[in-house]
């Protein structure tokens, strides 16, 4: 049985999202159980309303909640009984194989790093996420916001971690192609840090294909895209905003006249398929990669559908069982380069 700890109180909407998502997730995955962490009475009442399979849910009481705007260090030092902290402790204690939270990103990262520690050889964890690409492919992008300013050695570590994650989640790709996100494909382009990272990646054991541009993210050209957290977070937010913008434009276009509505009716199967492909909820759930345990960050403002996908991401990564192989790969590649 796969066990996942859930910060039931975290996020913009708390139990109104996490409880129905938990119910749906368990109904679709018979080999999973959840440990819901939060105010015991509130959690139980919310779960009962959703007709959740309570026989596969354990409720662990916690007395505190980390606010979405709370400073990370304050949460780390003063909220030791928060639903977020207790969920991560369950992973450390071996009672859960992963923790999922929609809570404050900074506080979640600080807490997870303090409790679980990083894999040997990794300076800082990265936020990694699979994004949709051409022909139903997926590309692993990192870092998406955990480390704003990264030295070249850290970008190399991201590439190693991203490669191992892809190999674990997509076994058919035994040599994932790695690209370094840059302003051009030429090796002379970019900042000094990016140029130095290019050199490190070129001399590594990784399947490094060189620099890639923003237009390559969805092309299927690479399996792993590496960048610092400043660039990565802007890329992620731009993708989310663009998806929403395009979806809104299409909806507006098909509702402007009776003729447009008639066309929309006949185009409904295509529109549904398009909506599903660009729906950001399907790709909700990013992993804090580089920790000695699995922690999944859900978008704070997502709905129950999106949070269920975050739970599913944790479920898949538990099954992939890649933490040990990640540590071995980091040691091997870094020792080769003497970094």
pLDDT for res 4: 98
Q: Write down the pLDDT at residue 264.
A: 58
- Give the pLDDT confidence score for residue 326 in this predicted structure: 83
First to last CA, the chain: 40
The alpha-helical segments, DSSP class H, found in 225-292 are 229-253, 258-266, 268-278
Secondary-structure percent of the chain, ordered helix, strand, coil, rounded to 5: 50, 20, 30
pLDDT of res. 311: 97
pLDDT, residue 323, reads 83
pTM, two decimal places: 0.89
Fold annotation for 1-122+290-322? Isopropylmalate Dehydrogenase (3.40.718)
Separation CA 186–CA 195 (nearest Å):
10
Neighbour tally for 171: CB within 10 Å: 9
**Domain ranges for the chain:** 1-122+290-322, 127-281
Q: List per-block mean pLDDT (blocks of 10 residues) for the chain, which spans 339 residues.
A: 96 96 96 97 96 95 96 94 98 97 95 94 91 87 91 94 92 93 90 94 93 91 95 87 70 68 62 63 89 94 94 94 81 66
DSSP bridge partners of 208: 178
What pLDDT is attached to residue 336?
Answer: 65
89/157 Cα distance (integer angstroms): 26
Strands (E), the chain: 2-7, 32-38, 57-61, 98-101, 126-132, 138-142, 177-181, 207-212, 224-226, 286-289, 294-297
CATH of domain 127-281: 3.40.718.10
Q: For residue 265, give every residue at least 6 positions away whose Cβ sits within 8 Å of its Cβ, in sequence order, or none.
A: none
Same fold? 1-122+290-322, 127-281 = yes
Rounded to an integer, what distance in angstroms lies between the CA atom of residue 87 and that of residue 116? 12
């Amino acid at each position: 049985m796969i066990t996942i700890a859930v910060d039931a109180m975290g996020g913009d909407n708390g139990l109104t999202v996490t409880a129905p998502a938990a119910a749906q997730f368990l109904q679709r995955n018979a080999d999973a159980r959840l440990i819901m962490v939060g105010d015991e009475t509130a959690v139980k009442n919310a779960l009962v309303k959703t007709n959740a399979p309570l026989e596969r849910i354990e409720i662990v009481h916690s007395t505190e909640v980390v606010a979405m705007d709370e400073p990370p260090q304050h949460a780390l030092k003063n909220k030791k009984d928060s639903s977020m902290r207790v969920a991560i402790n369950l992973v450390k204690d071996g009672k859960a194989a992963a923790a999922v939270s929609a809570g404050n990103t900074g506080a979640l990262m600080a807490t997870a790093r303090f409790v679980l520690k990083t894999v040997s050889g990794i300076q800082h964890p990265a936020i990694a996420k699979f994004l949709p690409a051409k022909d139903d492919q997926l590309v692993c992008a990192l870092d998406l916001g955990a480390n704003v300013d990264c030295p070249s050695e850290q970008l190399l570590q991201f590439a190693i971690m991203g490669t191992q994650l892809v190999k674990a989640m997509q076994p058919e790709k035994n040599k994932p192609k790695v690209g370094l996100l840059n302003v051009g494909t030429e090796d002379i382009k970019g900042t000094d840090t990016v140029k130095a990272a290019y050199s490190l990646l070129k001399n590594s054991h990784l399947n490094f294909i060189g620099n890639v541009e923003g237009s390559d993210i969805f092309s299927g050209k690479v399996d792993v895209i590496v960048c610092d957290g400043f660039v990565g977070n802007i890329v992620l937010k731009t993708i989310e905003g663009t998806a929403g913008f395009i979806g809104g434009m299409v909806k507006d276009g098909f509702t402007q006249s009776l003729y447009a509505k008639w066309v929309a009716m006949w185009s409904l199967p295509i529109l549904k398929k398009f909506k599903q492909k660009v729906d950001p909820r399907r790709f909700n759930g990013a992993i804090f990669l580089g920790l000695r345990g699995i922690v999944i960050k859900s978008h704070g403002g997502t709905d129950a559908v999106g949070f269920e996908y975050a739970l599913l991401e944790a479920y898949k990564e538990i099954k992939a069982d890649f933490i040990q192989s990640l540590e071995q790969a980091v040691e091997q590649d870094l020792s080769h380069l003497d970094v």
